[in-house]
Amino acid sequence: MPLFARRKESPGFYRFFKNVLGFTPRHTELYHIALTHSSSSTVDHGHRINNERLEYLGDAVLGSIVAEYLYRKYPMKGEGFLTEMRSKIVSRKSLGNLARRIGLPELVEHQRGQEGSFKSLGGDAFEALIGAIYIEKGFRFTRRLIIDKLLCTYLDIDQLAQTDWNFKGKLIDWGQKNKKKVSFEVVRSIVRDHEGRREYECLVKIDGQPGQSAIGYTIKSAEQLAAEKTYKAFVPAEPTEK
């Protein structure tokens, strides 16, 4: 018997797929797994079933599709620009915002009353959903859906290109101008799942004093997020011209 055979789809389940993604899923069990947070795992033959494996797959598929899309969209831009743009699009913050815009978090099965503890719930579910679509529909369908239904509909790519991202560099420049030592420290490494996938928490220090910290899938992304939070908290906003 399928793992989620007895789960009844909510009224919004098929509506979401039809109205937002433009198709009706055939293997609903696969998508129920994609929409199951680890806090609501089901145990099957000793294995915890949740969306972490699909999230791993979706992360790889999404990164590949976004990289190709940017390569074709900006034929005259260099590797540094393309890498930074991909990081902006697939960052936890960006995917979380995108997930909220399409109403995905409302469909995720998780322990209620702890929403504040699941800051990446929407973004993680988004990646898991991409993994599920890839398994059922294949690469070409998934690529077309990501670009046409999601990126070009819910993200302003050109505006994103103008958005400040390298807060680590900006914070270091600010420190040099103001004779303050800015450093970054990995304070802990967190094992997220049974596959050994890790998250890293990085802390910014200014003249040895703690600033803001943040968690990311890589040390680099955690440093960027921590730098952004610290920059906005410590660096005075530039006055606007009247």
Query: Which residues have C-beta within 8 Å of that of residue 66, sequence separation ≥ 6?
Result: 86, 89, 90, 146, 151
Predicted pLDDT at 241: 39
pLDDT at 119: 63
- Which is the catalytic residue, given 52, 55, 124, 127? 127
C-alpha distances (whole Å) from 53 to each of 34, 70, 74, 88, 199 are: 9, 26, 32, 23, 15
Superfamily per CATH, domain 11-161: Ribonuclease III domain (1.10.1520.10)
Return the amino acid letter for 172: I
Domain at 167-234: CATH code: 3.30.160.20
> Known catalytic residue: 207?
no
Give the per-residue pLDDT at 170: 85
Which one from 59, 109, 124, 201 is the annotated catalytic residue? 59
Using CA of residue 65, residue 68, residue 70, residue 72, what is the dihedral sign? Answer: negative
Residue 100: per-residue pLDDT: 93
CA atoms within 13 A on the CB side of 139: 8
What pLDDT is attached to residue 64? 96
Closest to 55 (Cα-Cα) out of 127, 118, 135: 127
Domain assignments of the chain as residue spans, ordered by start:
11-161, 167-234
Measure Cα distances from 34 to 4, 21, 134, 151, 225 in Å. Answer: 12, 15, 12, 20, 26
Residue spans of the chain under pLDDT 50: 1-6, 115-117, 239-242
Is-catalytic flag, 59? Answer: yes
Tell me the pLDDT tens digit for each residue of 45-65.
667 888 999 999 999 999 999
Cα gap 56→113, rounded to integer Å: 26
